Every structure is written in structure tokens, then in C-alpha cells.
Structure 1
Amino acid sequence: MRRYEKIQVANAGRMFFLIFSLFTLQSASAQQLQSYIQEAEENSPEIQALQYHYELTAEKTEEVDALPDTEFSAGYFVSEPETRTGPQKARFSVRQMLPWFGTLTARQNYANSMADAEYVEIAIAKRKLALAVAQSYYRLYELQAKEAILEENAELLQTYHELALNSVEVGNASAVDVLRLQMRQNDLLQQAETLEQEVGIEKNQLINLLNRKENFPVSIMDSLVIPDGELSAEEEQISEVHPELLKFEELYASVTEAEKLNQKESLPKIGLGVDYVSVAERADMDFSDNGKDILMPMVSVAIPIFTNKNKSVTRQNELRQKEIEAQRESKQLKLQTMLREAINKRTSAKITAATYIENLEQANDAEEILLKNYETGTIDFNDVLEIQEMQLKFQLGHIKAVKNFYMQATMVNYLSN
């Protein structure tokens, strides 16, 4: 098989692999990325810290059920007061204050609402980590794919270099053409080496996100394809249960529970107790109750007369709820703007990728025509270099467009699901 025929077969193989074979790799890529996301979640110290903080907050629900400390007191009469039944020797007392009915339940509901708000923070952290892992994955895909394309084009230039040498021998090309091809080949190899350094940096970034205890290598799919289809109506709107919005709903609910607790704590408190007085017998008299001890049950009520504190807390809670509502609306508008931007960029990337594919097909047709002219000895290596540069530009542009598509797709998924 002649050299130019080998080049045509190689070009056809690249296009077939680019356009068709990628569809079979799409599912495998999603599974691989999902496994990385799961690994990152399991190893993330940030998520572990948030989990511990949530458990700490949840544990406080057990703390709020506790009643105030029971008061015990004892006293000895230095100067014994005389009563009919005898002198009092000592007094022992026990007191227990009880909150108003429903106060303990209100405290527990408030603690639960705070724990729910902390749990949402875990969901937000997981989403952001998944987004970071996915975007690092696609950046690494772009770098590795570009590196492979540069090396492939450098090999192709080597074939052109051999064609040029043959043409010089028969007088159909000059030594300048050979040197120009060689310089272009050297430039591509240098770009590939630079990309190799960037690949190493991005791999370290991904490994750090995975927080691997050992430096196991990460693998990336060789090729990705942009799927067909349009956005669904659900993808064009921010999810109503998006954690970043749900956080404000949980905070609003916690303020509601805080106000219920404030109202309960503004009600009277009831105290129960008993006093026991030890009485000695009278020596000068003998009667049935002589030296009888005293047992006196006690009931007390603490009535809040000065309620300015509770009124101030109520006003604070009202203002806090208005603040949370405004923050939620602001966050929703911001997220909706980000979603629209991501959708537009994803659509633009899809259009750009399709344009690069079309241009690459035409550049390959032009290359085929040039190579056929090699048989007649009329090949122009300046045209060959120009076509090769165009092919490289379209290939690299297509890779970047695919990466941009998936980067924006992950953002759409983050915001709309």
C-alpha cells in the first residue's frame, strides 16, 4: 500500500472513531465518573467534618429534654426556735422547677429543626464535591485528548516528511519543504510535552479531590461524544428541592420553632418541693405529738412580669424570617441566572463541536485531494502544512467544545436536579 493510501486510511479511521465509536463509550464514562464521585464523598474530610457536626447538633435534642437542676438544701438551727411540739433542730428542703406545659416539646422541635438545617449542609457539600470531581475529570479528558492528537499529528508529519524526502530526490520538492515539515513536527512534539506537564498537574488535582491514601493512578476515557437531544422542561428551572434553596427553608423553619419556644418560655414556671423540719421532744411535757417532725409540701409559681426580653426576641425572629426570605429569593435568582448561562454555553458548545466536525471532514477531503496529486508529482507541501494546521485546529477545537459541553452539562445537572 502506498504511503498516501496509508494516510487516507488513518484519517478515515480517526473520523470513524471520533463520530461513531464514542457512543459505545458514553455509558462506561458515566460509570467511571460516578465511581470517582462516590470515592471522593467517602474520603472527603470536609464531608466527614460536616457529618460529625450534624451528629453533634442532633445529639443536642437529648440535652434539651433535661429539667432544671433539682435544688437540695439543709440547715441546722444554732438558736433553736421553740414550737408547741418541741424545739426545731434542722431543716431539709428539696425544690424542682418545671417549665410550662409543652415547653420541653418546643425545645426539642427547635433542636430538631437546627439539626435538619445542618443536614442540608452535608447535601450541599456533596453536590459541590461531585461538581468539582466531574469538572476536573473533563479538564483532564481535554488535556489527554489534545496530547494524543498532537502526538498523532506529529507522526503524520513524519509520513509527510518521508514523502517530501522522496520528492526532493526526484526534484519535485526542495530541501526547504523538508525543513519546514521537520520544524512543524518539532513544534507539535514540544506542545505535546507541555500538555503532558499540565496533565500531571490536573491528575494531582483529581487525586486530591478523591483524597486517596495511596497514589493510585486515575484513568480517563479516551473519547467522549456529545449526545443528541434537547433539554427537558425540568432542566430549564432550578429544582425546588435544591439543597442551596432548601437550606433557607430549614433555617426559616428553625426560626419558627425558636419563636414557639420563646412564647413557651414567656409563660409561668411551676415549682414543686417539700420541707422537712426535725423537731426534738420537750422534756418538760408529755403529750401525743411531742417531738413530731414537720413535713411541708411546697408549690411555687414564677410569673414573668418583665417581658421586654421576650418581646424583643419575637421581633428579632420576625426580622430574621424576613431576612431569610430575601436571602432565598436572592439565591434563587442567582442560581437561575447561572442555570441559564450554563444552558446557553452548553448549547453553544454543541453547535461549535458540530461545526468543527463538519470543517474537519472538509479538511480531510482537501488532504485527500492533495495526496492524490502526489502520484502526479504536483504535490505542494506548503498546502500540505496549511491543511495539516487546519486539521489540528479543528481537532483541538472539537475536543475543547466537547469538554465545554460536559463542563456546562454538569453545572446544569447541579442546578436543575
Structure 2
Amino acid sequence: MQYAMSALPGALGLVIALAAGAAVAQTMPGATVDSLLDLARANNPDYAAQRHDAAAAAERIGPAGALADPRLRIELQDVTMGGEQNPSLSPSRAGSTRYQIMQDLPWFGKRDLKRSIATQNADAAKAGAASAWQDIAARIKGAYAQSYYLFQNERLTQEILDLMSSLEKVAQARYASGLAAQQDVIRAQVELTTLSNELISLESDIRMNRVQLNMLLARPAYAPLAPPMQTLPQPVSARLDYALLEQRLRAGNPQLFAANAKLQAAELGRDLTLRNRYPDFTVGIAPVQSGRSVKNWELMVELNIPLQQSSRRSQEREAQSMLAAARSRKEATANQLLAELAGDLSGLEAARRVEHRVADSLIPQAQLTFNAALAGYENGKVDFATVLDAQRQIRMARQSRFKAQLDAAARLVEIERLLGETL
């Protein structure tokens, strides 16, 4: 009882330390991919720049359809009053003063077209920001999947290292008893050294992966990240139908949306160019002051005469060519995206099949082979090289499964980037 009471403070301290460690792990980003995405959405400077560009483009809509500022012209006539006085700039001492207020008015419909063009350009900029975020999110998801693969591979290598340490002790015991050759001990020690070197390489890869993630999160390069808890979730096969994914790509891909907005802007630009065949107006009103009172009012209408037809025809052909280029560019973008979707979908299906085959067949078979080889070595029926080969087969099988999971995650990330949404 006294021992239990004396051990109580230590147990409580251990519980508190574990709770504190769990709290730190929960607040530190990196355990889940969502924690990384939330941080990048708030801090990534590239995405922030794209959002600011989109906001700037949206602010151009209002000015695009607004009238130009009116102009004021003041004309003083007969400032010497027929030579009876020195020149004067006072309106009341001039022969007459004309105050003319003028306003430029574009041809009917031009303002609406300019506003619509600015709206389409703003939509394209907004889609550009969405596309930039999809690229950043894809890089984060890919780096997270790579991080999960590296941590799992490191854990597997450590497990095999512990296993080889046990095998080395068995080999030493059998060598000491005269049941095995010294070569078995040397082979075990060589394998331990090889595994230790692999751990060093994996630790370096994990650090580089952390640097890449922190760069995307706008954090210091070596800022700590929580170990990844799980790989990216895979959707059910029913959601991977190509026809369904093609529809979702055409409806939600930001690049395709931006290309369509630029196509609409090109069509509106062509219509605006055609409207330039018609003149723009300037209207004005001018009160005329004589002495200290206004006695006359004048009205004015001015318009430009569109005589330079060859220049306008060239501008119209230019607008038509730009429209055709925008249409072709949209088709090329759609074709490229659909080809990437088909390739990524095929790669995802292949990776999932490999992962299932390895998990269901190769790993159990390798485990049985190793168990049989270890039992045979302990009984003196097989040599140590057979045990080492069986151990390597287990490690290669499990690494193959991790690699297939990584390939599947990378393909899924690309598919989600193309769709512009999460499956």
C-alpha cells in the first residue's frame, strides 16, 4: 500500500505529460491534410496574390461602364472692352464670359459592352485564383501523402531493424554453441548496418518533405509538423466513373471556367469593335455672362465622324481573330484536361489493384515464408541466407504496398485538382 501511494505522484505526472503531449499534437499542423490546407488558405502568399488580383479585377467593373468626367471650359471675350481698359481676367469686367460644361456620351450599348467585358475578365481572374488554389492544394496533398509514405517506411525499417537485432542475437547464440558459422553473425551485422543507413536516408527525406510543406504554408523551413495520422481517403469505385468525372470536370474545372470567361470577353470585344462604326457624342451647355448677369444660354452637340474605315476594318478582323483564338484555346484546354483525367484515372485504378494484390497475397505469403525460414534456421534445417532473403521479401512486399498507396494518392490528388473539388 505504501509503495502504491509513493508511485501515485509519478503516475499522475506521466498522465499529465501524456495529456500535454496530446494537446501539443492537436494544435500542431500536419496530423491531417485538412489542418495543412486551412493554414495554407490563410497564409500562402501565392494564393493571396491571386485573390488580390481577382479583387482588383472586380473593382474594374464599375469604372468600365461609367461615363467620363464632365469638362468645364471658361472663355473670356473682349477682355480689354474694345481697348477702353487694360486686359482683365475678371468675368464682370470682360465683354462676355462663356461657361461651357461638356459631357462625352458613347454610342448606345458601348457602356454595357465595356461593363460586360470587365465582368468576364473579373470572372476569369476569380477562376485564376481558384485554379491557383487547386494547384497549391494539390501540392500540399501530394506532399502530405509523401510524408505519410516516408513515416510508414521509416517505421517499417525500424521494425525490420529490431527484427534483425533479434536475428543477430540468435545467430550469435548458435555460433557460440557451435551450431552456426561465424559468417551468419557477419551477415546479420552487415544487414543491420544497411538498415541503419536506410534510416538515415529516410530521416533526410522526411526533413526535406517538412521543408516543402512549410514553404507552402509560409512557415519557417524547419518549423515542426505533427506526424501524419492517415493516408488520403480513397473514394469508392462508383465515384470513379469516367463519364461522371468528365461532366464534373466540364462544370467545375477553374481553368476551363477561365477559358470560357475569356471566350465570352472576346465575343463582347468583337461586338464593341463593331459598335465603333458609329459615332460618339459630346453634349454641352454654356451660360454666357455679360457684366454681372447671365443673359444668354447656348447648347452644343458634337460627334466624331468615323471616316477611317480601313483602320476600323482591321480592328474588326483583329477582334474576330482574337475570338477564334479564344475559342480554339478553350477547346485545347478541354482536350488536355480530359486526357489528363483519363490518364490519372487509369493510373489510380492500376495502383489500387496493385495495393490490393500485395495486401491480400504477397504480404501473407512473404510472412509465411519468413516464419518457415526462421523455424528452419533455429532447427538447423536452412542456412542464415535463407532467413535474410525471407526478411527482405517481407520488407519489399510491405514497401510495395506503401508505394502503391502513394501512387494511388498522387493520382487522386491530380484528379481532384482537375475536377476543382474533393471526391
Question: Helix, strand or coil: the match of 1:166?
Answer: helix
Which 10-residue stretch deviates more, 88-97 or 198-207?
88-97
Is 1:240 the counterpart of 2:246? The answer is: no
Report the Cα offset of residue 88 of structure 1.
Answer: 7.9
Q: Partners of 1:325 and 1:30 in 2: how far apart? A: 42
Q: Any idea what SS the aligned residue of 2:285 has?
A: strand
Stretches of structure 2 lacking an aligned partner (at least 5 in a row): 1-28, 84-92
**Cα gap change, 1:69 to 1:410, in 2 (>3 Å):** same
> Greater shift after overlay, 70-79 or 107-116?
70-79
2:169 maps to 1:162: yes
C-alpha separation between the residues in 2 aligned to 1:300 and 1:353? 77
Question: Which shifted more, 210-219 or 49-58?
Answer: 210-219
Residues 108 and 226 of structure 1: CA distance in aligned 2, closer, same or farther (over 3 Å): closer
SS of residue matched to 2:346: helix
Q: Deviations over 1:158-181 (max 9, x none)?
A: 111111122123322111101111
Name the counterpart of 1:90. Answer: 96
Q: In 2, Cα distance between the equivalents of 1:375 and 1:187? A: 24
Question: Which amino acid letter does the alignment assign opposite residue 98 of structure 1?
Answer: L
The answer on whether the counterparts of 2:32 and 2:230 sit within 8 Å (CA) in structure 1 is no
Scaled by the length of structure 1, what TM-score is found? 0.82
Q: Which amino acid in 1 is paired with 2:372?
A: I
Structure 1 residues 1-38: Cα deviation after superposition (integer angstroms, max 9, x where no partner): xxxxxxxxxxxxxxxxxxxxxxxxxxxx9992123122
State the one-letter code of the partner of 1:180: R
Instruction: Please name the residue that 2:70 is paired with.
Output: 69
Residues 198-245 of structure 1: CA distance to partner in whole angstroms, max 9, x if unpaired? 110111101111113692424312667867635224135671121111
Aligned pair partner of 2:279 in 261, 265, 268: 268
How many residues in Structure 1 have an aligned counterpart in Structure 2? 376
Match for residue 55 of structure 2?
55
Task: Judge which range, 242-251 or 210-219, deviates more.
Answer: 210-219
Change in Cα spacing, 1:309 to 1:54, as seen in structure 2 (3 Å) is farther
Counterpart in the other structure of 1:360 = 363
- Change in Cα spacing, 1:280 to 1:237, as seen in structure 2 (3 Å) is closer
Q: How does 1:8-407 map to 2 (within 5 A)?
A: 32-64=32-64, 65-78=66-79, 89-94=95-100, 95-212=102-219, 215-221=223-229, 229=237, 231-232=240-241, 233-235=243-245, 239-241=249-251, 242-279=253-290, 293-357=295-359, 358-374=361-377, 376-407=379-410
Compare 100-109 and 73-82 and name the one that shifted more: 73-82
> Does structure 2 retain, via aligned residues, the 8 Å contact 1:110–1:261?
no
Give the Cα separation in 2 of the matches to 1:187 and 1:332.
49
Identity %: 21
Give the aligned partner of residue 16 of structure 1: none
Higher relative contact order, chain-length normalized (CA < 8 Å, sep 6+)? 1
Structure 1 residue 312, shift from structure 2 partner = 2.5
Aligned to 1:91, what secondary structure does the other structure show?
A: strand
Deviating more after overlay: 246-255 vs 67-76: 67-76
C-alpha deviation, 1:370, in angstroms? 2.3
Q: CA 1:185–1:236 in 2, change beyond 3 Å: closer, same or farther?
A: farther
**Aligned residue number for residue 17 of structure 1:** none
Q: What's 1:18 paired with?
A: none
Give yes or no for contact 2:273–2:319 (8 Å, CA) kept in 1. no
1:308 maps to amino acid: S
Q: 1:226 to 1:188 in 2, by over 3 A?
A: farther
TM-score by length of 2: 0.81
Give 1:269 shift.
2.6
Distance 2:54 2:233 in 1: 41
Secondary structure of 1:293's counterpart equals strand
- Mark the CA change 1:154 to 1:90 in structure 2 (over 3 Å): closer, same or farther: same
| Equivalent residues of 1:225, 1:402 under 8 A apart | no
Q: Structure 1 unaligned segments of length 5 or more: list them.
A: 1-28, 282-290
- Counterpart of 1:288 in structure 2 is none
In the alignment, is the contact (CA less than 8 A) between 1:88 and 1:280 conserved in 2? Answer: yes
**What amino acid does structure 1 have at the position aligned with 2:55?**
E
Change (3 A) 1:229 1:413: same
Compared with structure 1, are the counterparts of its residues 375 and 118 closer, same or farther at alpha carbon in structure 2 (3 Å cutoff)? closer
Distance of aligned partners of 1:93 and 1:312 in 2 relative to their CA distance in 1, 3 Å threshold? farther
**For the Cα contact (< 8 Å) 1:145–1:222, is it kept in 2?**
no
Structure 2 residue identity aligned to 1:90 = S
| Match of residue 12 from structure 1 | none
CA RMSD of aligned residues (A): 2.9
Task: Check the 8 A contact 2:151/2:227 in 1, yes or no.
Answer: no
Q: Tell me if structure 1 keeps the 8 A contact 2:79–2:94.
A: no
Q: Is 1:207–1:218's contact at 8 Å kept on the other side of the alignment?
A: no
Once the two structures are superposed, residues 298-351 of structure 1 have per-residue CA deviations (whole angstroms, 9 ceiling, x without a partner) of 333333233434332222121111111111222222222212221222122122
Q: 1:407 deviation in Å?
A: 0.5
1:268-323 CA-to-partner distances (Å, cap 9, x unmatched) read 23332234444469xxxxxxxxx993332233333323343433222212111111
